A and B are shown apart, each in its own frame.
Chain A
């Protein structure tokens, strides 16, 4: 193990380490802690210049209910769910199929297609912006959540295919061979044998895609204009423009917008990290 386990060090090092941990954490999360505290700070504190000191009281209930009552943030959150959930389902479903095809069959274009999906995943969004916006407009899907979902599904399929293909490659191939000998159809091999084994990969991808899409800001500003389809990232930014200097409201709004992916991360932590670190262990 590297570095040397702290248990082998002198007692003062051990104590020092345990004291340093919370201090380092607080320093690291200082921006977040500042925002969390401000979100429960009474408005009067800000007017009095008490931005980072001890709050004079707890105004969490007032601030958060003010955000929900005086702004469409509830609606924005709903829109984010309307974009995120169908995207997760669509991208995971499509990539189960493409991943299976690229992992199980040997055909000439296999590697070419695989690396096309991988490369697609790295390109800058800006090269897609003008044509995708134009296409979405012409299809009558501009300013709708469906327009966003369709794009996100297509784009995420690149990353998800990379993931699924590598995951299926790691499954025992003998299972598939045996089924073929038995005369099981290819579709049934996929749906009855491989798909049930893919559960951990599906879980990992779902959390990851959920976070990526929830946090998307670029496409939310390119493909959406009005409030009725705006996700919470773009919505928060426009609210920030309205709440000039009302930092307690901006903070409460930020916490609200950040909460769903944070919860998702905490609930599905192991899957999340497994997804993110794919490839970081073996070369």
Chain B
């Protein structure tokens, strides 16, 4: 406002109401624009170019996308992303089961709840290293268990048939803990009168859970679904730590495939990487839109 000294006060006082929120928003909004919104547009732009990250960008139209359609690794990644998504959803019933198991008031239960939550607090790098070691053939505890069960020794992370499942199991461990804590909070807020009334009517066990408890847990289930779907499509750390996409690219997922192409040791392919990122982004936007629409309708009703 000091730019127009003749009538700063009139301008400020006239627009004070409408300008105030923008002044509060400005710092956060600028950072968000600079590091999130603009880069999304730039990525789309870069995906139409051939670029090594240093020299000039060369416009090649949709060639990156055409190449992607012909790339076997792309289809392996897509297939694995679907596997991740589907199997990751097991964290939701799993988390509910653990939460139901722990929703008691006995001595020390609070400590038990926090210890069960532990896997979520530690870094996925640590989780990945732990599971790699547990899967190690010859001496790993899980591989010993599998050998005992099937009578066959399997090198899970080196076997194209099992590698993705092995990594997903490692991911399910912290994700189940996350869903558990969401459900524990939800169970805490259940209306006891309704539960008692249903019990009076003779409902119990699974029937009570399905008809009375689960509807009341809907908000917790929704958040659990959101974080699980997003988490499954974001899977990067575990793949990177445990297999780097191998053996022979069989455990690739889009997020790691993109990283590998863009910062490949054989030369940076920023354009191609950006094209993969755009595909992943579009897939996730489908889910994000569904989530946002639901949150928006809650916002309007609430």
Query: How many Cβ-Cβ contacts under 8 Å join chain A to chain B?
Result: 283
Answer whether residue B75 sits at the interface, using C-beta atoms and an 8 A cutoff: no
Across the interface, which residues of B come within 8 angstroms of A18, CB to CB?
A: 106
A122 in contact with B284 (CB, 8 Å)? yes
B26-63 interface mask toward A, CB cutoff 8 Å, 1 = contact, 0 = none? 01110110111111101100100000010000000000
B219 in contact with A123 (CB, 8 Å)? no
In A224-283, the 8 Å CB interface with B consists of: 233-234, 236-237, 240, 247, 250, 254, 257-258, 261-262, 265-266, 269, 273, 276-277, 279-283
Across the interface, which residues of B come within 8 angstroms of A34, CB to CB?
A: 130, 133-134, 141
Answer whether residue B168 sits at the interface, using C-beta atoms and an 8 A cutoff: no
With an 8 Å Cβ cutoff, the count of chain B residues facing the other chain is 109
In A112-151, the 8 Å CB interface with B consists of: 113, 115-120, 122-135, 150-151
Q: Kindly identify which residue among B109, B119, B123 contacts A214, using a CB–CB cutoff of 8 Å.
A: B123
Across the interface, which residues of A come within 8 angstroms of B192, CB to CB?
A: 1
A126 in contact with B105 (CB, 8 Å)? no
Q: A94-B28, A215-B123 are in contact. Are A123 and B185 (CB under 8 A)?
A: no
A218 in contact with B236 (CB, 8 Å)? yes
Question: In the bound complex, what is the Cα–Cα distance between A190 and B24 (angstroms)?
Answer: 10
B61 nearest CB across to chain A (Å): 18
A32 in contact with B123 (CB, 8 Å)? no
9 contacts between A and B (CB under 8 A): A1-B103, A105-B20, A110-B21, A115-B296, A122-B288, A124-B280, A127-B39, A154-B31, A280-B219
Chain B: residues with CB nearer than 8 A to chain A? 18, 20-22, 24-25, 27-29, 31-32, 34-40, 42-43, 46, 53, 100-101, 103-106, 109, 112, 114-119, 121-127, 129-131, 133-134, 139-141, 144, 173, 178, 181-183, 185-190, 192, 195, 204, 208-209, 212-213, 218-220, 222-224, 226, 230, 233-234, 236-237, 240-241, 254-255, 258-259, 262-263, 270, 273-274, 276-278, 280-281, 284-285, 287-288, 291-292, 295-296, 298-299, 302
Across the interface, which residues of A come within 8 angstroms of B134, CB to CB?
A: 31, 34
A1-42 interface mask toward B, CB cutoff 8 Å, 1 = contact, 0 = none? 111111100000000011001001100111110110000000
B32 in contact with A126 (CB, 8 Å)? no
Question: In the bound complex, what is the Cα–Cα distance between A215 and B121 (angstroms)?
Answer: 8
Which B residue's beta carbon lies closest to that of A24? B101
A225 nearest CB across to chain B (Å): 10
Chain A interface SS verdict (over half): helix
Q: A1-B195, A25-B116, A118-B292 are in contact. Are A280 and B24 (CB under 8 A)?
A: no
Q: Kindly identify which residue among B40, B112, B284 contacts A128, using a CB–CB cutoff of 8 Å.
A: B40
Which A residue's beta carbon lies closest to that of B293? A115
Answer whether residue A58 sits at the interface, using C-beta atoms and an 8 A cutoff: no
Answer whether residue A97 sits at the interface, using C-beta atoms and an 8 A cutoff: yes
A262 in contact with B118 (CB, 8 Å)? yes
Q: A31-B131, A98-B28, A132-B35 are in contact. Are A126 and B53 (CB under 8 A)?
A: no
Which B residue's beta carbon lies closest to that of A21? B112
Q: Which of B122, B276, B285, B299 has the most CB of A within 10 A?
A: B122
B233 in contact with A124 (CB, 8 Å)? yes
A279 in contact with B36 (CB, 8 Å)? no
Q: A98-B24, A157-B28, A280-B219 are in contact. Are A2 and B195 (CB under 8 A)?
A: yes
Question: In the bound complex, what is the Cα–Cα distance between A101 and B181 (angstroms)?
Answer: 30
A6 in contact with B104 (CB, 8 Å)? yes
Question: In the bound complex, what is the Cα–Cα distance between A97 and B22 (angstroms)?
Answer: 10
